[in-house]
Structure 1
Amino acid sequence: MKTASPSAVLPGTAPAHTHDDVQRAYSKVTWRIIPFLFICYVFAYLDRVNIGFAALQMKQDLSFSDAVYGLGAGIFFIGYFLFEVPSNLLLEKIGARKTLMRIMIVWGVISGSFAFVTTPTQFYVARFLLGAFEAGFFPGIVLYLTYWFPPMMRGKIITVFMSAIAVSGVIGGPLSGWIMANMGSASGLAGWQWLFIIEAIPSIILGAFVYFVLADKPADAKWLSARERAVIIHAVGTTGGHGHDATFWRTLRDPRLYALSAIYFAIAAGLYIISFWLPAMIRSYNVTDPLHIGLLTVIPYGITTAGMVVIGKHSDRTRERRWHVASGMIVAALGLVTVTYVHDSLTLALTVLSITTLGILTAMPLFWTIPTSYLSSAGAAGGIAVINSIGLIGGFASPSVLGWVKTTTGSLDYGLYTFAAILVLGSVLLLLAMPQRLLREDT
């Protein structure tokens, strides 16, 4: 994994730290942290959204309507919303290792328990608990990365980390489709039940490894030399927030915190349309085999995986964030509208869905470079959690609304138009509420 050049990373580095020191330290940190967190997030996201594949069989077996499915898919985010800020504040007190280990092991157990759901009430409760126990994982990692990487590196780093969402689609689609197509009736369980059990196991295993792989902060990293630790501490210590030295409680009174939350609401709503409804959209084109549906989902996610890294690098190189995020949101909005006009062509639909997925998944990681640059270190832990928790109400809104619209009208179209408009409004709010002068990434 190639790191930024030393001159790009630390132009203000103290003379005692040579360019070779910086390059060596960041190469070691990047290879130690990012691949492991990437793999963890692949399975975290897979456990969160595999309900979209399970629904292909689960709804029929349990007699769940689209409205029941949509509400259950979305209620995950209510639990997430309620417990996210406390989880992130706890991370600062007890450290990332203990926090992430607890989160991953417990959510893995709960995810596997979905195999034994039989009623809508059990479905809702299990989804709520999954959200409650996963709360803090993503914002915790975003906060954790600010301990190690200065702002000018975060565009690419966060994008590489969050490309795990696209990779989980590339891996999860065929895997989920194969499990459902080939493991039905094994040991008396349906394919969708095996899906939950099998895909939960890696999260539990990875959770056990968190404590041994990660260090809470650079000063605790025994796998770095004393000189390398000094380089990292100096890099992050001299490139903190842009003058917003406020406590968490003062941060809560900042109107821009809620503007950022509203923007993230729009992005999350768009993301979970793709995550929860893509298999159903593909099935509407008369693709009935779960394995074939899984293989076809690879196309939009595969294109997006490559595109995210390229665009993230461009954003870092140009030091521009706002227009990169806003452009991705607008592209996704246009895609959601356009897909409603290609009901007769699977090829055109996959093309449009690929562009839509690229737009929304590009906007999401680059969005996080904005609050991590704007918030001070004192307000970052709670501020990031507030933005993510309020924003992820969009993850509740879009599947719930689309499920209701589909049950009522027999089509997703009006729901897609609604969230396309929300994405456009979010992009406008971003450009108006977060002027460039507030996001200068000091060196």
Structure 2
Amino acid sequence: MAAETEDRLVRGAVRSGMWRLIPLLGLCYLLNYVDRVNVGFASLKMNPDLGLSAAAYGLGAGLFFIGYFVFEVPSNVILHKVGARIWIARIMITWGIVASATAFVAGEISFYIVRFVLGVAEAGFFPGIILYLTYWFPRAQRAKVVALFFLAVPLSTVFGAPISTLLIQNGDGLLGFAAGWRFMFFVEGIPALLVGVLVLFLLPDRPTKARWLARDAAVALEERIAAEDSAQVAKEPTLRAALADRRVVALSIVYFGVVFGLYVLAFFLPQVISDLQRQFGVTFSLFDIGLITAAPYVVASIVMVLNARHSDRTGERRLHVAIPAFVGAVGVAVALFLNSPFLIIAAVTVCACGVFAAIPVIWQLPSTFLTGVAAAGGIALINSFGNLSGFVGPYVTGWLQDLTGNNKAGMFVVAGFMVLSGVVVLLLRRGVAAREGGPNTTTGAP
């Protein structure tokens, strides 16, 4: 096949994959993230109803990530073996059921149990999608593609925050639920279950399994990606070697620090905004809190895509992670010293921009040294360790809030972990980053 014809077929296949897959996967992740973090909005009413302290709430919110951590690597290895279509559908259906069951929690223990089980149900979803995208998109497009997929997170807050707060505010007595937060949990779990069924019919495992993609284009795309993998990673590591690789450990630390900021924002930003009323004598309705919470995510989504596109164009990855991490740390630290609610929200927005800009680019680093089942296990391990910050972050932040009576100590911890992420990724120069070239080429260094 002539190189020009091959390039044309690959470009067409990539365009088709973008239009066919990213909207569906983005919808799946939007529902995933709404069901994971809607507990932050529920906490405003649920905590007093159930008698949960800030520390108890933080522990319960974070227990999700223990179940997630334990089952993450096995889940991703299974996805690599049985295919994304069946396994992603299974994950979505089970998490939808458990998310709706959160409506029936009765106290601390049942809250802890349902959050842990939700983590077990969701394990493998995000790293599975990251792995799946490597089957479909050449390296020169991956940061942008992951950023477009990851738009589901800020969009889940932009749309999910007002919807969740409206359901809580107006759900008392609906469907027999005495409290609006119970109604919200029940309703918001159902779409994941329904879309999970759709995934069984709409998500092809690989390009050559897609009925909507011409055979020659599908083959050309798979051959291009295989050639890039062979050029980038001369010998596929074993799963055991990948899990013990110091670069995987380092990237786990990087991801831990960035995601620490992500989940503290998700679980505690509504409470921080609510506290502004006491600090500055302003008044917000529950719906107002939802809208204000959404604002930083709108700006962060734009910055995230721009940073990813620039990283793809230049082929540089480390600085596109480190600089956003440092900027995000400055944003959250500065917010603690401001005396205006508008300036505080602006500083929090800077923090959100740093967090979201870094994440899609982080996921381009594992493929510089991992392929195949090693990539499945390594990506899952990075994600599972990184997401342990979803347990540590809410618990530590809640404990410090109980101890000090305010959010300042917890926010300093967020800033510290983001600085750590930036430092560690810069120290990867002789490991991961040694494989970086200049701007991406046909074989494309990530």
TM above 0.5, one fold? yes
1:123 aligns with 111
Q: How much does 1:85 deviate? A: 0.4
1:102 aligns with 90
Q: How much does 1:193 deviate? A: 0.8
Distance 1:83 1:103 in 2: 12
Question: Where in structure 1 do 4 or more consecutive aligned residues deviate above 3 Å?
Answer: 241-244, 439-443
Find out whether 1:232 has 2:221 as its counterpart. yes
Match 1:395 to one of 380, 385, 390: 390
The correspondence of residues 309-348 of structure 1 with structure 2, limited to 5 A, is: 309-342=305-338, 344-348=339-343
Distance 2:38 2:177 in 1: 21
Q: How much does 1:254 deviate? A: 1.5
Q: How much does 1:372 deviate? A: 2.4
Find out whether 1:69 has 2:57 as its counterpart. yes
On the 8 A contact 2:39/2:61 being kept in 1, the answer is: yes
The correspondence of residues 233-252 of structure 1 with structure 2, limited to 5 A, is: 233-240=222-229, 241-243=232-234, 245-252=236-243
1:271 aligns with 262
1:372 aligns with 367
Distance 2:81 2:306 in 1: 36
1:192 aligns with 181
Aligned residues with identical type, % of pairs: 41
1:282 aligns with 273
Q: How much does 1:335 deviate? A: 1.3
1:23 aligns with 11
3-state SS in 2 of match to 1:112: helix
1:213 aligns with 202
Amino acid in the other structure paired with 1:69: Y
3-state SS in 2 of match to 1:44: helix
1:259 aligns with 250
Amino acid in the other structure paired with 1:178: L
Distance 2:124 2:132 in 1: 11
Q: How much does 1:120 deviate? A: 0.3
Q: How much does 1:200 deviate? A: 0.9
On the 8 A contact 2:315/2:436 being kept in 1, the answer is: no
Distance 1:77 1:91 in 2: 19
Amino acid in the other structure paired with 1:253: A
Moved more, 362-371 or 21-30: 21-30
Amino acid in the other structure paired with 2:12: R
Unaligned runs of 5+ in 1: 1-12
3-state SS in 2 of match to 1:312: helix
Distance 1:140 1:297 in 2: 29
1:6 aligns with none
Q: How much does 1:14 deviate? A: 4.9
2:414 aligns with 419
1:79 aligns with 67
- Write the deviation string for residues 199-218 of structure 1: whole angstroms up to 9, x where unpaired: 11111111001111111112
2:280 aligns with none
- Write the deviation string for residues 61-120 of structure 1: whole angstroms up to 9, x where unpaired: 111110110000111100000000000010011110111001001001101111110110
- Write the deviation string for residues 298-332 of structure 1: whole angstroms up to 9, x where unpaired: 21011112221122111111111110111111111
Amino acid in the other structure paired with 1:80: Y
- Write the deviation string for residues 144-171 of structure 1: whole angstroms up to 9, x where unpaired: 0011112111010001101110100100
Distance 1:434 1:81 in 2: 28
3-state SS in 2 of match to 1:341: coil
On the 8 A contact 2:168/2:180 being kept in 1, the answer is: yes
Moved more, 302-311 or 77-86: 302-311
Amino acid in the other structure paired with 2:115: R
3-state SS in 1 of match to 2:3: coil
Distance 1:329 1:14 in 2: 44
Q: How much does 1:419 deviate? A: 2.4
Distance 2:394 2:435 in 1: 34
On the 8 A contact 2:77/2:373 being kept in 1, the answer is: no
- Write the deviation string for residues 400-435 of structure 1: whole angstroms up to 9, x where unpaired: 000101111111211211221121122111111244
1:163 aligns with 151
Amino acid in the other structure paired with 1:424: V
Change (3 A) 1:165 1:248: same
- Give me the CA root mean square deviation: 1.5
Match 2:29 to one of 28, 32, 41: 41
TM-score normalised to structure 2 length: 0.93
3-state SS in 1 of match to 2:244: coil
Distance 1:303 1:223 in 2: 35
Change (3 A) 1:244 1:184: farther
3-state SS in 2 of match to 1:231: helix
How many residues in Structure 1 have an aligned counterpart in Structure 2?
430
- Write the deviation string for residues 253-297 of structure 1: whole angstroms up to 9, x where unpaired: 311111111111111111101111110011011144211101111
Q: How much does 1:389 deviate? A: 0.8
TM-score normalised to structure 1 length: 0.94
3-state SS in 2 of match to 1:17: helix
Amino acid in the other structure paired with 1:245: E
2:399 aligns with 404
Find out whether 1:304 has 2:300 as its counterpart. yes
1:5 aligns with none
Find out whether 1:437 has 2:434 as its counterpart. yes
Q: How much does 1:21 deviate? A: 2.3
Q: How much does 1:252 deviate? A: 2.2
Distance 1:439 1:398 in 2: 32
On the 8 A contact 2:62/2:395 being kept in 1, the answer is: yes
